[in-house]
Amino acid sequence: MYTDLCFPENNEEEYIALAKTLGWHSLCCAYSMKTKQAIQTRQAQLTALAQKKKIPLFLGIVADKPSHLLHEQSCLVISRSSPATARTLLETSALDLVYDLENDSKKDPLHFRRSGLNQVLCALARKNNIAVGFAFSSLLSTENRPERMGRIMQNIRLGRKFKLYMVVASFARKPSEMRAPRDLMSLAVSLGMRLPEAHLAL
Protein backbone atom coordinates (compact mmCIF):
# COMPACT_ATOMS: atom_id res chain seq x y z
CA MET A 1 0.00 0.00 0.00
CA TYR A 2 1.51 3.32 -1.09
CA THR A 3 1.24 6.09 1.50
CA ASP A 4 2.15 9.73 0.89
CA LEU A 5 2.99 12.22 3.63
CA CYS A 6 1.73 15.80 3.64
CA PHE A 7 1.28 18.82 5.91
CA PRO A 8 -2.34 20.04 5.53
CA GLU A 9 -3.58 23.38 6.81
CA ASN A 10 -7.31 22.78 7.04
CA ASN A 11 -7.32 21.69 3.38
CA GLU A 12 -7.26 17.93 3.89
CA GLU A 13 -9.97 17.34 1.29
CA GLU A 14 -7.81 18.93 -1.42
CA TYR A 15 -4.96 16.58 -0.56
CA ILE A 16 -7.31 13.59 -0.50
CA ALA A 17 -8.84 14.39 -3.89
CA LEU A 18 -5.42 14.74 -5.51
CA ALA A 19 -4.04 11.67 -3.74
CA LYS A 20 -6.83 9.54 -5.22
CA THR A 21 -6.19 10.97 -8.68
CA LEU A 22 -2.45 10.30 -8.45
CA GLY A 23 -2.90 6.73 -7.25
CA TRP A 24 -2.00 6.89 -3.56
CA HIS A 25 -3.71 4.28 -1.40
CA SER A 26 -3.51 6.28 1.84
CA LEU A 27 -2.25 9.53 3.34
CA CYS A 28 -0.34 10.46 6.47
CA CYS A 29 -1.37 13.97 7.50
CA ALA A 30 1.19 15.59 9.79
CA TYR A 31 0.57 18.48 12.16
CA SER A 32 2.47 20.38 14.82
CA MET A 33 0.66 19.66 18.10
CA LYS A 34 1.72 20.17 21.69
CA THR A 35 -1.00 18.61 23.85
CA LYS A 36 -2.75 15.26 24.19
CA GLN A 37 -6.11 16.92 23.71
CA ALA A 38 -5.04 18.46 20.40
CA ILE A 39 -3.77 15.08 19.21
CA GLN A 40 -6.96 13.28 20.22
CA THR A 41 -9.13 15.94 18.55
CA ARG A 42 -7.15 15.76 15.32
CA GLN A 43 -7.23 11.96 15.35
CA ALA A 44 -11.02 11.99 15.68
CA GLN A 45 -11.30 14.45 12.79
CA LEU A 46 -9.11 12.30 10.54
CA THR A 47 -11.02 9.14 11.45
CA ALA A 48 -14.32 10.77 10.47
CA LEU A 49 -12.82 12.17 7.27
CA ALA A 50 -11.35 8.79 6.33
CA GLN A 51 -14.77 7.17 6.66
CA LYS A 52 -16.39 9.93 4.62
CA LYS A 53 -13.81 9.90 1.82
CA LYS A 54 -13.15 6.15 1.92
CA ILE A 55 -9.38 6.41 2.15
CA PRO A 56 -7.11 5.42 5.06
CA LEU A 57 -5.72 8.50 6.84
CA PHE A 58 -2.92 8.33 9.40
CA LEU A 59 -1.95 11.00 11.90
CA GLY A 60 1.57 12.36 12.03
CA ILE A 61 2.98 14.57 14.77
CA VAL A 62 5.67 17.08 13.83
CA ALA A 63 8.07 17.18 16.78
CA ASP A 64 10.68 19.89 17.20
CA LYS A 65 12.25 18.01 20.08
CA PRO A 66 11.63 14.74 21.93
CA SER A 67 9.26 14.76 24.89
CA HIS A 68 7.53 12.24 27.13
CA LEU A 69 4.26 13.05 25.36
CA LEU A 70 5.51 11.50 22.14
CA HIS A 71 6.17 8.12 23.75
CA GLU A 72 2.50 7.80 24.66
CA GLN A 73 1.05 8.25 21.19
CA SER A 74 0.33 5.62 18.58
CA CYS A 75 0.98 8.12 15.80
CA LEU A 76 3.86 8.62 13.40
CA VAL A 77 6.25 11.11 15.00
CA ILE A 78 8.40 12.98 12.50
CA SER A 79 10.94 15.76 12.61
CA ARG A 80 12.79 17.84 10.05
CA SER A 81 16.52 17.63 10.58
CA SER A 82 19.26 20.24 10.42
CA PRO A 83 23.02 20.03 11.00
CA ALA A 84 22.49 21.33 14.54
CA THR A 85 19.73 18.89 15.52
CA ALA A 86 20.49 15.65 13.66
CA ARG A 87 22.38 13.88 16.44
CA THR A 88 19.93 14.92 19.17
CA LEU A 89 17.00 13.65 17.10
CA LEU A 90 18.61 10.33 16.25
CA GLU A 91 19.65 9.66 19.85
CA THR A 92 16.02 9.31 20.97
CA SER A 93 13.63 6.44 20.44
CA ALA A 94 10.68 8.86 20.59
CA LEU A 95 10.86 9.61 16.87
CA ASP A 96 9.73 7.38 14.04
CA LEU A 97 11.06 9.34 11.08
CA VAL A 98 13.57 12.11 10.45
CA TYR A 99 13.71 13.84 7.08
CA ASP A 100 15.62 16.54 5.20
CA LEU A 101 18.95 15.45 6.65
CA GLU A 102 20.46 16.96 3.50
CA ASN A 103 19.19 20.41 4.53
CA ASP A 104 22.52 22.22 5.00
CA SER A 105 22.90 25.71 3.55
CA LYS A 106 26.69 25.41 3.39
CA LYS A 107 28.13 24.34 0.07
CA ASP A 108 29.75 20.94 -0.25
CA PRO A 109 33.56 20.92 -0.05
CA LEU A 110 35.51 19.39 -2.89
CA HIS A 111 36.07 15.96 -1.33
CA PHE A 112 32.88 15.20 0.63
CA ARG A 113 29.18 15.99 0.77
CA ARG A 114 27.32 17.63 3.64
CA SER A 115 24.59 15.01 3.46
CA GLY A 116 23.66 15.13 7.14
CA LEU A 117 24.43 11.44 7.68
CA ASN A 118 27.57 9.61 8.68
CA GLN A 119 28.41 6.23 10.17
CA VAL A 120 27.76 7.37 13.75
CA LEU A 121 24.34 8.84 12.92
CA CYS A 122 23.38 5.80 10.86
CA ALA A 123 24.23 3.56 13.80
CA LEU A 124 22.01 5.69 16.06
CA ALA A 125 19.13 5.60 13.57
CA ARG A 126 19.37 1.83 13.32
CA LYS A 127 19.62 1.38 17.09
CA ASN A 128 16.53 3.54 17.72
CA ASN A 129 14.52 2.27 14.71
CA ILE A 130 14.25 5.72 13.15
CA ALA A 131 13.48 5.87 9.44
CA VAL A 132 15.23 8.31 7.12
CA GLY A 133 12.92 10.31 4.85
CA PHE A 134 13.63 11.87 1.47
CA ALA A 135 11.30 14.78 0.67
CA PHE A 136 10.33 15.53 -2.93
CA SER A 137 9.06 18.98 -1.94
CA SER A 138 12.56 19.91 -0.76
CA LEU A 139 13.95 19.05 -4.19
CA LEU A 140 11.34 21.34 -5.72
CA SER A 141 12.24 24.29 -3.52
CA THR A 142 16.01 24.00 -3.23
CA GLU A 143 18.19 26.53 -5.04
CA ASN A 144 20.90 23.99 -5.84
CA ARG A 145 19.09 20.88 -7.01
CA PRO A 146 22.15 18.96 -8.30
CA GLU A 147 23.90 19.39 -4.94
CA ARG A 148 20.81 18.25 -3.01
CA MET A 149 20.42 15.23 -5.29
CA GLY A 150 24.06 14.29 -4.73
CA ARG A 151 23.52 14.41 -0.97
CA ILE A 152 20.44 12.21 -1.24
CA MET A 153 22.39 9.72 -3.34
CA GLN A 154 25.05 9.51 -0.65
CA ASN A 155 22.45 9.01 2.08
CA ILE A 156 20.76 6.25 0.10
CA ARG A 157 24.09 4.43 -0.07
CA LEU A 158 24.58 4.89 3.67
CA GLY A 159 21.02 3.76 4.35
CA ARG A 160 21.61 0.57 2.40
CA LYS A 161 24.93 -0.10 4.11
CA PHE A 162 23.43 0.26 7.59
CA LYS A 163 20.11 -1.38 6.66
CA LEU A 164 18.05 1.69 7.57
CA TYR A 165 14.37 1.96 6.74
CA MET A 166 14.09 4.64 4.04
CA VAL A 167 10.95 6.61 3.15
CA VAL A 168 10.28 8.49 -0.07
CA ALA A 169 7.25 10.79 -0.09
CA SER A 170 6.07 14.16 -1.32
CA PHE A 171 6.21 15.80 2.14
CA ALA A 172 3.95 18.33 0.44
CA ARG A 173 3.11 21.62 2.15
CA LYS A 174 0.59 22.40 -0.57
CA PRO A 175 -1.33 20.02 -2.84
CA SER A 176 0.56 21.14 -5.96
CA GLU A 177 3.75 19.62 -4.51
CA MET A 178 2.29 16.09 -4.54
CA ARG A 179 3.45 13.60 -7.16
CA ALA A 180 2.29 10.13 -8.17
CA PRO A 181 3.87 7.12 -6.45
CA ARG A 182 5.24 5.88 -9.77
CA ASP A 183 6.99 9.24 -10.31
CA LEU A 184 8.56 9.15 -6.85
CA MET A 185 9.61 5.55 -7.37
CA SER A 186 11.33 6.46 -10.63
CA LEU A 187 13.07 9.37 -8.92
CA ALA A 188 14.26 7.14 -6.09
CA VAL A 189 15.69 4.62 -8.55
CA SER A 190 17.42 7.38 -10.50
CA LEU A 191 19.02 8.55 -7.23
CA GLY A 192 20.43 5.12 -6.47
CA MET A 193 17.73 3.03 -4.83
CA ARG A 194 17.22 -0.48 -6.12
CA LEU A 195 13.70 -1.17 -7.32
CA PRO A 196 12.73 -3.34 -4.30
CA GLU A 197 14.06 -0.60 -1.98
CA ALA A 198 12.00 2.02 -3.81
CA HIS A 199 8.86 -0.13 -3.49
CA LEU A 200 9.41 -0.47 0.26
CA ALA A 201 10.20 3.24 0.63
CA LEU A 202 6.73 4.22 -0.59
Question: What is the domain-level CATH number for residue 91?
Answer: 3.20.20.140
| Domain that includes residue 111, residue range | 3-201
Three-class SS of residue 84?
coil
pLDDT at 92: 81
41, 39, 45, 200: CA torsion to nearest 10: -170
Q: What pLDDT band is residue 68 in, cutting at 50, 70 and 90?
A: very low
Q: What is the pLDDT of residue 14?
A: 97
End-to-end CA distance of the chain: 8
Domain count, the chain: 1
Q: E strand or H helix at 137, and its extent?
A: helix 136-141
Range from 18-27, 81-90, 157-166 carrying the lowest mean pLDDT = 81-90
pLDDT in tens, 8-52: 999 999 999 999 999 999 999 999 888 889 889 999 999 999 999
Note the pLDDT of residue 72. Answer: 54
| Residue 144 pLDDT grade (very low, low, confident, very high; cuts 50, 70, 90) | confident
Q: Is the pLDDT of residue 69 over 80?
A: no
Q: How far apart are CA 134 and CA 153, in angstroms?
A: 10
Beta-carbon contacts of 192 under 8 Å, excluding residues fewer than 6 positions away, are 153, 156, 157
Q: Is the CB of residue 24 less than 8 Å from the CB of residue 57? A: no
The per-residue b/e assignment along 149-162, b for 16 or more CB within 10 angstroms, e otherwise, is bbbbbbbbebbeeb
* Residues 175-197 pLDDT 10s: 999 999 999 999 999 999 999 99
Percent of all residues in the chain with a pLDDT value above 70, rounded to a whole number: 89
What is the DSSP secondary structure assignment for residue 71, as one 8-state letter? H
